[in-house]
Amino acid sequence: MTGQDVEAVLRAGGHRITRPRTAVWAALVDADDHLTAEEVAARVEQQDAGVNLASVYRTLTLFEELELVRQSRLGDDPAGRWEITHPDDDFHLVCTVCGAVDHHVGSLVQTVRDHLEGGHGFAVDEVDLTVRGRCAACAGATA
Amino acid sequence: MTGQDVEAVLRAGGHRITRPRTAVWAALVDADDHLTAEEVAARVEQQDAGVNLASVYRTLTLFEELELVRQSRLGDDPAGRWEITHPDDDFHLVCTVCGAVDHHVGSLVQTVRDHLEGGHGFAVDEVDLTVRGRCAACAGATA
DNA sequence: TTTCATGCAAATTCTTTGCAAGTTA
DNA sequence: TAACTTGCAAAGAATTTGCATGAAA
């Protein structure tokens, strides 16, 4: 999803292209990571001029409605974290030792979808698979 | 996990058996469901005398440390929800139409564990699998 | 009786909202 | 120009914390 695609999605929904929206999107693209609203605001501030936190929240909420981004709440972190929507976004490996959050790209999510669609009559819209544990490096260090 | 088991876990950790702790545990057992802290407080009030919300939070946090309960945040509900820990607790089916939250008890979580432990060197501690979509009843109604 | 837990109220953190001023189309 | 957005500040919701009183061991 490029910046131009985003502009097209916004326009299609009757929304305007504004500096805050462009800047928030750029911050999320650069990050390639899960950011809290405050982190997004901080990164925007470094690049462009500042964007108010309230506007960041409004922008993220809008993007979520347009399915451009997703919010997730990992572990017991009280703050919501945002990331750009892409097919494997919904599979998170969280290391409880070093704190790394990995987007594990694999076939498991599809397995889950197939299992549910096939046997349970449940129409799957979103799969959010969060696994907590110790990544290979940390598991090796403590073993 | 019976009430007696819980008392044993508390004692083993050097914690006292108190009315609020007993009452919160009972509420969670009765519910067999995901409850917010406020819902726990409300249910306790119906049974026993009231327990302060702050104490409910402190109790839930303690139980979480003792791995007696788990907290999860489903969808974009801002409130944390608590439930008793048991092997299949970590598989949630959330219907976006009727709002039903189902504990789907099945083999998928184990599949995820096996997959990761086997191929990725990731030591799994917790799997949280949340699927959003439409349950059989609601999918049929809108189809 | 000594230490731990509770209740109450105030404080924090994250997020949302009202409204006037600034921007986009 | 007309409608949509932003920034600012205040409001809200969920959760945490300080401290004196009360209860458990």
SS (H, E, C) chain A: CCHHHHHHHHHHCCCCCCHHHHHHHHHHHHHCCCEEHHHHHHHHHHHCCCCCHHHHHHHHHHHHHCCCEEEECCCCCCCCEEEECCCCCCEEEEECCCCCEEECCCCHHHHHHHHHHHHHCCEEEEEEEEEEEECHHHHHHHC
pLDDT band at A100 (very low <50, low <70, confident <90, very high): confident
Residue A93 in this model has a pLDDT that exceeds 50:
yes
Nearest CA in chain B to A71: B76
Overall pTM surpassing 0.85 (yes/no)? no
Count Cα atoms within 13 angstroms, Cβ side, for A105: 3
Residue A58 in this model has a pLDDT that exceeds 80:
yes
Q: Are residues A78 and A96 in the same domain?
A: no
Closest CB from B76, B112, B123 relative to A139? B123
Q: Domain range spanning residue A81? A: 1-85
Q: Are residues B68 and B2 in the same domain?
A: yes
Tell me, what's the pLDDT at B30? Answer: 92
Two tokens, residue B79: 């409130």
Last residue of a domain, which of A35, A68, A85? A85
Q: Give the residues of chain B that fall short of pLDDT 70.
A: 32, 75, 87-89, 104-107, 119-120, 141-143
Tell me, what's the pLDDT at A143? Answer: 47
Residue A89 in this model has a pLDDT that exceeds 80:
no
Scan residues 24-63 of A and list those with Cβ closer than 8 Å to B: none
- Strands A91-95 and A123-134 come out as parallel
Q: Are residues A71 and A97 in the same domain?
A: no
Protein CA A137 to sugar C1' D12 (Å):
43
B129 lies within 8 A of chain A by CB: yes
Min distance B45 CA to chain A CA atoms (Å): 27
What integer is the mean pLDDT of A10-25?
96
Last residue of a domain, which of A42, A65, A85? A85
Q: Are residues A64 and A130 in the same domain?
A: no
Min distance A126 CA to chain B CA atoms (Å): 5
Q: Any idea what the Cα angle at residue B27 is, between residues B131 and B58, rounded to 5°?
A: 85
Residue nearest to nucleotide C14 (CA to C1'): A79
In whole angstroms, what is the distance from residue B130 CA to residue B56 CA? 25
Residue B77, SS3 per DSSP: coil
Higher pLDDT, A117 or A130: A130
CATH number of the domain to which A49 belongs: 1.10.10.10
Tell me, what's the pLDDT at B5? Answer: 87
Tell me, what's the pLDDT at B19? Answer: 96
Q: Are residues A79 and A93 in the same domain?
A: no
Q: Are residues A79 and A102 in the same domain?
A: no
Closest CB from B71, B129, B136 relative to A129? B129
Q: Are residues B30 and B97 in the same domain?
A: no
**Distant-in-sequence, close-in-space partners of B139: CB < 8 Å, separation ≥ 6:** A121, A122, A123, B133
Tell me, what's the pLDDT at A106? Answer: 62
Q: Are residues B74 and B6 in the same domain?
A: yes
Higher pLDDT, A39 or A87: A39
Q: Are residues B24 and B41 in the same domain?
A: yes
Q: Are residues A108 and A73 in the same domain?
A: no
Last residue of a domain, which of B66, B85, B104? B85
Protein CA A53 to sugar C1' C15 (Å):
10
Q: Are residues A8 and A20 in the same domain?
A: yes
A19 lies within 8 A of chain B by CB: no
CATH number of the domain to which A121 belongs: 3.30.1490.190
Domain count, chain B: 2
Q: Are residues A43 and A107 in the same domain?
A: no
pLDDT band at A33 (very low <50, low <70, confident <90, very high): confident
